[in-house]
Amino acid sequence: MTTFPNYITCIQLLLRYSTPSNVISHSIQTAQTALRVAKRIKAQKISINCDFILAGALLHDIGRCKSHRIDHGIIGARLIRKEGFPEEVAKIAENHLFAGITKHEAVKLGLPFQNYLPVTLEEKIITYADNVSKKEPILSIDEIIDRYSKHLIRSHPILKRVRRLHAEIEVLLNNK
């Protein structure tokens, strides 16, 4: 069984890499949102690892200590691997952008040729929480799309994937 870093360990790592305080605040908010979502889904007898969600959500933006561009996910994954943390946590850093990026989209965005897509339910919950946790109260899907439309045309496949991911998590949240 994989052991994930706890809250204190994650915060200490963010501080050790001089992660900006606003990024740390956002990461804490993302973790709180992701855990709320996970607990509601878990109450429906769906298996979810909350330790993984906590670590992944807290460390998803650690790469912002070096870059605020789209490459921050790759940088963060590299740092997480360097620290010897579980690969699952590194994958969160790599795959949390928007609702994932295909390898062909990655090349167009200047990233290495590989898929950056959240696969597990935990990855999807963290990605969803990151998208909605830009302010309090959480953002609606329309606000998320408006925000991302500053960088992508509204018909872009990435925005379609954001809508699908949002809908997938919302369905799970509303199944009581």
CATH number where 16 lies: 1.10.3210
Whether 27 is in a domain gets the answer: yes
Whether 86 is in a domain gets the answer: yes
pLDDT at 135: 65
pLDDT(32) > 70: yes
By percentage, how much of the chain surpasses pLDDT 90?
Answer: 82
Whether 95 is in a domain gets the answer: yes
Average pLDDT, the chain: 94
Whether 19 is in a domain gets the answer: yes
Taking the chain, what is the end-to-end CA distance rounded to the nearest angstrom? 30
Whether 1 is in a domain gets the answer: no
Domain membership of residue 136 as a residue range: 7-174
pLDDT at 152: 84
pLDDT at 166: 95
By percentage, how much of the chain surpasses pLDDT 70?
Answer: 98
Confidence category of residue 171, pLDDT binned at 50, 70, 90: very high
| Buried-state track 112-129, b at ≥16 Cβ within 10 A, e below 16 | eeeebbbebbbbbbbbbb
Whether 23 is in a domain gets the answer: yes
pLDDT at 100: 93
> Which structure tokens are listed for 126?
């963290």
Whether 108 is in a domain gets the answer: yes
Residue 8, number of CB atoms within 10 A of its CB = 8
Whether 2 is in a domain gets the answer: no
Our count of domains for the chain comes to 1
pLDDT tens figures, 135-170: 666 788 988 899 888 888 888 899 999 999 999 999
Contacting residues for 138 by C-beta, under 8 A, at least 6 apart? 33, 132
pLDDT(2) > 90: no
pLDDT tens figures, 40-84: 999 999 999 999 999 999 999 999 999 999 999 999 999 999 999
pLDDT at 115: 96
